[in-house]
Amino acid sequence: MDNFTYRNPTKLIFGKGRIAELSQEIAPGSKVLVAYGGGSIRQNGVYDQVLSALQGVELFEFGGIEANPDFDTLMKAVEIVRQQGVQFILSVGGGSVLDGVKFIAAAAHLEGDPWTILTGKAEIKSAIPIGSVLTLPGTGSEMNCFSVISRRSTNEKLAFGNPLVYPVFSILDPETTYSLPKRQIGNGVADAFVHVIEQYLTYPSDAPLQDRMAESVLLTLIEEGPKTLANPDDYTSRANIMWAATMALNGIISVGVPQDWATHGIGHELTALYGLDHARTLAVVLPSLLRQRKDVKQAKLVQFAERVWDFKTGSADEKIEAAIQKTEGFFLSLGIPVKLSAHQIGEEAAKRVVQNLSRRGEIALGEDGKITGPVVEKILIEAV
């Protein structure tokens, strides 16, 4: 196991009826910007719950943050924050609103070009404190310091991470997820599943606790995801998915171990170029990537096959292929295609993705940096 430092400052407030506690978390009299998306919170009653809980503060609102939050939209909120002297930003919605809020919080204090936050060239010295009311489990954004921002005008989608944008608190009421369309439930479960895979399916690193924790998050998602889809009113499965998705990307399972993140790196380009939902990019890239990389990942793939999918007999190759097929079956059971052709995308995507990736320099993805341009091309051609 490698040396590590772990600190996660986000206070998690989990369970039914907890939105009512909002006012205890934000200093009375503060100027608060409530940020949200395209309107789901107005239809499912979450907006009303938030406003009635937020007494004694000076409120501003910013709606219309889109899925895959866009730089140009967010810059309008940055203006409001600067002009009004906003002191706290509350995200109400899914990962996109929250990622957008993280960016707004950092950009509002930055001198110079805010896009440099995404290119890694900005020095972020401070950020406005943020909190969240999460309505879509999946990204893990509620308890991490990452944010992924799209810039449609240039077909880019980039991530940044900074400890200053950890939410001060996140309220997770599983009942807010009852109104999710099936597509978003499936997306969230698949996204969380792939988050675990990115931190687990690399090579052995003498970290049995991290392995067991990762496997238990995977098994929970495999067991609870289909339950929610079959019984949308089942509070227990909603709650378990929400907690599992948080645990998948709050940093705890990745301490001291190697990480991959190539599926995400390639997936972000597919969203930037073709507008696919984040999780849908992952479901087409991951199986193909695992097949391409089965030799370097062999030991962990066999472990994954044995412990997660219960394949205990056969050769290593047979176990690995069986586990990849089970993973594909799992995505399909969530209503998510595993081939690019299902999205009407063909082999031309391979070159376009590589071209986009190489705008940022040499391509060296994966836990060993060996996923170069030609490997990315192969992964995508096989994913058609």
Residue 99 or 224: the one with the smaller Cβ distance to Zn ion is 99
Residue 118 or 180: the one with the smaller Cβ distance to ligand NZQ is 180
Question: Of residues 132, 184, 263, 292, which one binds ligand NZQ by CB under 6 A?
Answer: 184
Distance (Å, rounded) from C-alpha 161 to C-alpha 313?
Answer: 42
282 CB-near residues (< 8 Å, 6+ apart): 190, 191, 194, 263, 264, 267
CB of 319 to ligand NZQ, least distance (A): 28
Question: Of residues 50, 53, 74, 95, which one binds ligand NZQ by CB under 6 A?
Answer: 95
Residue 248 or 345: the one with the smaller Cβ distance to Zn ion is 248
Distance (Å, rounded) from C-alpha 128 to C-alpha 102?
Answer: 9
Question: Of residues 18, 22, 33, 37, which one binds ligand NZQ by CB under 6 A?
Answer: 37
Does 191 sit near Zn ion (CB under 5 A)?
yes
Which x/- pattern over 39-58 shows residues binding ligand NZQ (rule: CB under 6 A)?
Answer: xxx--x--------------
Question: Of residues 10, 91, 132, 147, which one binds ligand NZQ by CB under 6 A?
Answer: 147
Residues in 270-309 that interact with ligand NZQ by CB under 6 A: 278
Of Zn ion, ligand NZQ, none, which one sits near residue 216, judging by CB under 5 to 8 A according to partner kind? none
CB of 167 to Zn ion, least distance (A): 17
Confirm if 324 and 287 have CB atoms less than 8 A apart.
Answer: yes
Does 277 sit near Zn ion (CB under 5 A)?
no
Distance (Å, rounded) from C-alpha 366 to C-alpha 200?
Answer: 12
Which range, of 71-79, 107-115, 174-182, 316-324, touches ligand NZQ by CB under 6 A? 174-182
Residue 99 or 191: the one with the smaller Cβ distance to Zn ion is 191
Residue 184 or 202: the one with the smaller Cβ distance to ligand NZQ is 184
CB of 278 to Zn ion, least distance (A): 6
Which x/- pattern over 233-252 shows residues binding ligand NZQ (rule: CB under 6 A)?
Answer: ----------------x---
Q: Which tokens hold the place of 172?
A: 């997770």
User: Which residues contact ligand NZQ by CB under 6 A?
Assistant: 37-41, 44, 67-68, 93-97, 99, 135-136, 138-141, 144, 146-148, 176-177, 179-180, 184, 187-188, 191, 249, 264, 278
User: Which residues contact Zn ion by CB under 5 A?
Assistant: 191
